Homo-oligomer: A and B are copies of this chain.
Amino acid sequence: MTGPEPLVRPSIDAPPPAVILVRPQLGMNIGAVARAMLNFGLTDLRLVQPRDGWPNADAGPSAVGADIVLDGATVHDSLADACKGLTLVLATAMDTRDMTRRVVTPTQAVKEFIALPAGGGLVFGPERTGLVRADLLQCHAICTIPSNPDFGSLNLAQSVAVLGYEWVRQRHDGLAETVINHPGPALHNELQDLITAIDAKLAEHGYYSPEEGRAAAAKRMMINMFTRPQFSGEEVRSLRGIVRGLVAPRANRARPTQPSS
């Protein structure tokens, strides 16, 4: 490779951002944050002046097993202390409170985190009030989750979940958006045999209109309906049985030569 390198190379090994809770109020919410973090592979939890001290017995139950996050949480006297060792620090807020800051979407925030040479941080304010100006002043930019303008106040742990999801979503970018949990379509001739059998029985039963155009349309629709779903071989064989079952009761029809299951 002799071509120019991109100016910023997103690192596949970029560390996930730290989550910094400033003056969190309820232990239950700290636990729910820990769970949401671990759901999306974030583990670095930093608490600034938690209202009820730390550890907090209310955090465990709502963490539902995310003990590794709670046990590793660090406690700090100030936001500045909690940000030590981090580079890009983003405040989550609904508005900029008159700070002159860039306001970025979660999509943009994660793009920037991925491009960092060292870890970034996401700062969340107290449940009731959010971050105050003195907190925002210490952050490089503000990250706002797009939401209903008339009902935009998100639950703390849900905000963490949304940003954690965005972190995972972008790092999984390029993975298939759709996976087919399916043995794959039947052999083409198996499907055609089914369609031919259905067509023959319908013709025999006078299903098709005597009018040629309408008969052709009805036949096309039948073929479409059985072709589009990409039935597997097993399903096509099951449909053959269903067709036989519709045509006549079991006692009245010849037994299939293949063994019944």
Contact = CB atoms under 8 A, between A and B. Distances in A.
Size category of the A interface is 35 or more
Interface string A171-210: 0100101111111000000000000000000000000000
Interface string A95-122: 0100111111111100100000000000
Contacts of A107: 169, 177
A106 to B, nearest CB: 8
Given A165-B145, A181-B96, A66 B158 contact: no
Interface stretch (A3-11, A148-156, A219-227): A148-156
Copies, count: 2
A179 B103 contact: yes
A165 B162 contact: yes
Contacts of A148: 38-41
Most chain B CB atoms below 10 A, which of A41, A100, A108, A158: A158
A73 interface: no
Interface string A3-32: 000000000000000000000000000001
Contact of A181 (B100, B145, B165, B232): B100
A47 to B, nearest CB: 20
Contacts of A232: 100
A260 interface: no
Interface of A: 32, 35-36, 38-41, 64-66, 96, 99-108, 111, 142, 145-148, 151-155, 157-158, 161-162, 165-166, 168-169, 172, 175, 177-183, 232, 235
